[in-house]
Structure formats: structure tokens, C-alpha cells
């Protein structure tokens, strides 16, 4: 869901009896929950799909810093500013863990970043929405990081060793993000003015549906899922993950004393889950295509960061060369 609609390039999932000996050996390892490591044989499509999925995931962490950066200089006090800084630094770290893990598949980081900049590879649709008030920092931590956790907890058991290990590290750190976000909202709801409380509700109203879209299209519209599930680089379906997220989030919403903008949301005793309304998929696909409120701005900011930082990288290289020469002499 930090990686949505990852194309496997595979038309039909093969059965064990249709596979070459190498493929079968590989699939049997996966079936036995044995991790695939960088030097092990793997099908090209598995490698390509993983690079795609992990680069999307990494790009999402990196672009995900931008909506939060917006409030860094406007945090209400120094404590909140420090917390937000720490969270943003974590996101940079998560992006780097994932880029390193991706590089173990032979992918080149610069090339993958170039694909992000050209629009060839996406990042999560959620980061194309603006953060308009301080409560958004709370809602992003609570809902966006919360949705990310639901997905990433499952990905800790992904079949590719380096990806799995990166996920384990990331999950440890994410729970701080979600708690700090929820606490921002709870503090505003319990100690805030009427205006501040309205700000919280406004923020949830705007971000609720985009947060649910993070899990990607319905299973029935998710043609790549079957192959990704067989490879265990996806371990639970989009709809199941979304349901799990909603089920665990609604009690927290009620504790806040807020609502979500969905008249169809209600507990279904029979199913043991919350029922909820239909997502506006035309919005989801429009954002994915590049037409969300902030798509162009996000990409421009990323490109500028890389281009305007070129001289720093160049200076670091020259500095290293000079010192290497001095040491050799």
C-alpha cells in the first residue's frame, strides 16, 4: 500500500508442475517460509517486481517527508517541533533502509530515483494531498502511519530476506509515529478550544478516504495480487488489510470523540467487522495518474532537492579525494 498496483508482468500464475527445476526449487523454498537471499537464484520477474515494489515503498518514505515538512516551522511549540523533526528523520531512514535492500537485487539507486522523477515509478497516492492545518500532523501520524503499519507488519514475513529485515526495523520505529500523531489529536480534543476541535474533525474529514485508498484497489481489480501472493511479497489482500485497519481504527476514533465522513460506516455483528461505504475510485486513479492536488509540486520539490544538492555531493567527493591523496603521501 506504500506500493500500490505493482505490476508483476506475469499473465498467469504457474503451478509447481509447470515450473522449471530452478523455479520449482525456488517456489518450494518460499512455500516452506525459507527466506530468499541476494545471491540465491530467483526468477527475473520476481527480481523485477521486487525492485518495483521496494523502490515505490522507498520513494513513498522519502516523498512522505514533504507534507510533514510543511509544518516543521509552524509547530505550536518546541516539544512538538522536536518530535516532528525526529519523525521526519525516521522517514528518511526508512527510505534509506529500503533503497539499500533494493540495491541487493542489483538495482541502481540513481536510476530508480530518476524513474521516480520522470513519473515512471509511483509513490503512495496519500502523499499527494496537502497538509492544511496543524491537526493534519496528528492525523497523518495516526491514520497514514497507522495504515502503513497494518501493511508493514504483514510484510515483515515477506519472502525476500533484506526486505523482511528492513520491515522489521521500520515497524519498530513506526509505532512511535502513530502514537505521537494520535496524542496530538487527543490533546487537541481534550484540552483544545472549540476551534481547535473543529480543526481535528476537519482534518479527519479530508484524510479519511485518502487513507483508505492507501491499501489499493479492490481485490477484484488487483490483477497482480495472485502472483505477488504466490511469491509471498504480498501476504494479505488489499481488502483484508483495509478491513483490518478500519476495525482497529474506529474504536480509537470514538475515543477521540470524532466521526468519519462515511454515513455507511457501522458495526456488523454478523461479520464481526465494520461495514463501510464505497471508495471513490475515480479519485484514486486520478491521483495515481498524476492529477492529485500536490503531485506536480511533490515531484518538483524532489527534483530540486537532487539538482540543488549536486554541488554538495561533488564537494564531498573532492574532499574525500584530497584526503585520500594526503593519506597516501
Partner 1 sequence: MSDWTLFEVFVRSKHGLNHKHVGSVHAADAAMALENARELYTRRSEGVSIWVVPSKQITASSPDEKEPLFDPADDKVYRHATFYDLPKEVGHM
Q: Which residues sit at the interface with partner 1, rule CB under 8 A? A: 37, 39-40, 86, 89-90, 93, 96-97, 100-101, 103, 108-110, 166, 173, 313, 316-317, 319-320, 323-324
State the Cα–Cα distance between residues 182 and 255, nearest whole angstrom.
11
Shortest gap between Cβ of 107 and partner 1 (angstroms)? 11
If the CB atoms of residues 80 and 87 are measured against partner 1, the closer one turns out to be 87
Shortest gap between Cβ of 106 and partner 1 (angstroms)? 13
Shortest gap between Cβ of 303 and partner 1 (angstroms)? 15
- Asked if 89 contacts 82 with a C-beta cutoff of 8 angstroms, the reply is no
Three-class secondary structure of residue 122 per DSSP: coil
State the Cα–Cα distance between residues 94 and 116, nearest whole angstrom.
17
Shortest gap between Cβ of 163 and partner 1 (angstroms)? 12
Shortest gap between Cβ of 81 and partner 1 (angstroms)? 17
If the CB atoms of residues 173 and 247 are measured against partner 1, the closer one turns out to be 173
Residue with the three cell numbers 491499501:
215
273: which strand partners? 268
Phi, psi of 273 (to 5 degrees): -140, 165
If the CB atoms of residues 107 and 241 are measured against partner 1, the closer one turns out to be 107
Three-class secondary structure of residue 274 per DSSP: strand
Q: Which of 109, 94, 105 is nearest to 152 (CA)?
A: 94
If the CB atoms of residues 176 and 209 are measured against partner 1, the closer one turns out to be 176
- Looking at residue 234, the DSSP 8-state letter turns out to be S
Q: How many residues does the chain have?
A: 329
Burial of 146 from C-beta contacts in 10 A (0-12 / 13-18 / 19+) = buried
If the CB atoms of residues 42 and 148 are measured against partner 1, the closer one turns out to be 42
Q: Which of 238, 56, 256 is nearest to 139 (CA)?
A: 256
If the CB atoms of residues 18 and 108 are measured against partner 1, the closer one turns out to be 108
CB within 8 Å of 312: residues ≥ 6 apart = none
Residue with the three cell numbers 523502490:
55
State the Cα–Cα distance between residues 61 and 95, nearest whole angstrom.
5
CB within 8 Å of 229: residues ≥ 6 apart = 235, 237
If the CB atoms of residues 44 and 270 are measured against partner 1, the closer one turns out to be 44
- Asked if 181 contacts 276 with a C-beta cutoff of 8 angstroms, the reply is no
Shortest gap between Cβ of 187 and partner 1 (angstroms)? 23
If the CB atoms of residues 45 and 320 are measured against partner 1, the closer one turns out to be 320
Shortest gap between Cβ of 138 and partner 1 (angstroms)? 22
Shortest gap between Cβ of 84 and partner 1 (angstroms)? 15
If the CB atoms of residues 101 and 260 are measured against partner 1, the closer one turns out to be 101
Q: Which of 163, 158, 214, 207 is nearest to 181 (CA)?
A: 207
Shortest gap between Cβ of 314 and partner 1 (angstroms)? 10
Amino acid at each position: 500500500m506504500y506500493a500500490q498496483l505493482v505490476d508483476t508482468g506475469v499473465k498467469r500464475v504457474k503451478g509447481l508442475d509447470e515450473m522449471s527445476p530452478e523455479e520449482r526449487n525456488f517456489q518450494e523454498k518460499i512455500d516452506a517460509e525459507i527466506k530468499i537471499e541476494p545471491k540465491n537464484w530467483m526468477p527475473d520477474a520476481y527480481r523485477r517486481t521486487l525492485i518495483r515494489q521496494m523502490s515505490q515503498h522507498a520513494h513513498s518514505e522519502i516523498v512522505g517527508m514533504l507534507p510533514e515538512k510543511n509544518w516543521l516551522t509552524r509547530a505550536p511549540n518546541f516539544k512538538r517541533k522536536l518530535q516532528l523533526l525526529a519523525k521526519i528523520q525516521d522517514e528518511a531512514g526508512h527510505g534509506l533502509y529500503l533503497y539499500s535492500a533494493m540495491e541487493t537485487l542489483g538495482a541502481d539507486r540513481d536510476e530508480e530515483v530518476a524513474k521516480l522523477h520522470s513519473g515512471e515509478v509511483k509513490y503512495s497516492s496519500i502523499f499527494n494531498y496537502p497538509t492544511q492545518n496543524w491537526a493534519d500532523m496528528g492525523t497523518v501520524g495516526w491514520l497514514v502511519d497507522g495504515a502503513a503499519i497494518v501493511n508493514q507488519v504483514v510484510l515483515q514475513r515477506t519472502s525476500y530476506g533484506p526486505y523482511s529485515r528492513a520491515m522489521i526495523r521500520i515497524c519498530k520505529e513506526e509505532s512511535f509515529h502513530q502514537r505521537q500523531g494520535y496524542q496530538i489529536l487527543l490533546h487537541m480534543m481534550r484540552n483544545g478550544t472549540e476551534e481547535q476541535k473543529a480543526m481535528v474533525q476537519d482534518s479527519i474529514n479530508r484524510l479519511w478516504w485518502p487513507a483508505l485508498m492507501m491499501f489499493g484497489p479492490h481485490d477484484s481489480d488487483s490483477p497482480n495480487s495472485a502472483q505477488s501472493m504466490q511469491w509471498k511479497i504480498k501476504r494479505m489482500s488489499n481488502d483484508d488489510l483495509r478491513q483490518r485497519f478500519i476495525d482497529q481504527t474506529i474504536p480509537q476514533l470514538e475515543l477521540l470523540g470524532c466521526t468519519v465522513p462515511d454515513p455507511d460506516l457501522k458495526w456488523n455483528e454478523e461479520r464481526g467487522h465494520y461495514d463501510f461505504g464505497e471508495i471513490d475510485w475515480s479519485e484514486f486513479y486520478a491521483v495515481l495518474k498524476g492529477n492529485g492536488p500536490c503531485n506536480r509540486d511533490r515531484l518538483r520539490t524532489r527534483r530540486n532537492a537532487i539538482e540543488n544538492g549536486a554541488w554538495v555531493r561533488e564537494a564531498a567527493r573532492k574532499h574525500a579525494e584530497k584526503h585520500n591523496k594526503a593519506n597516501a603521501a
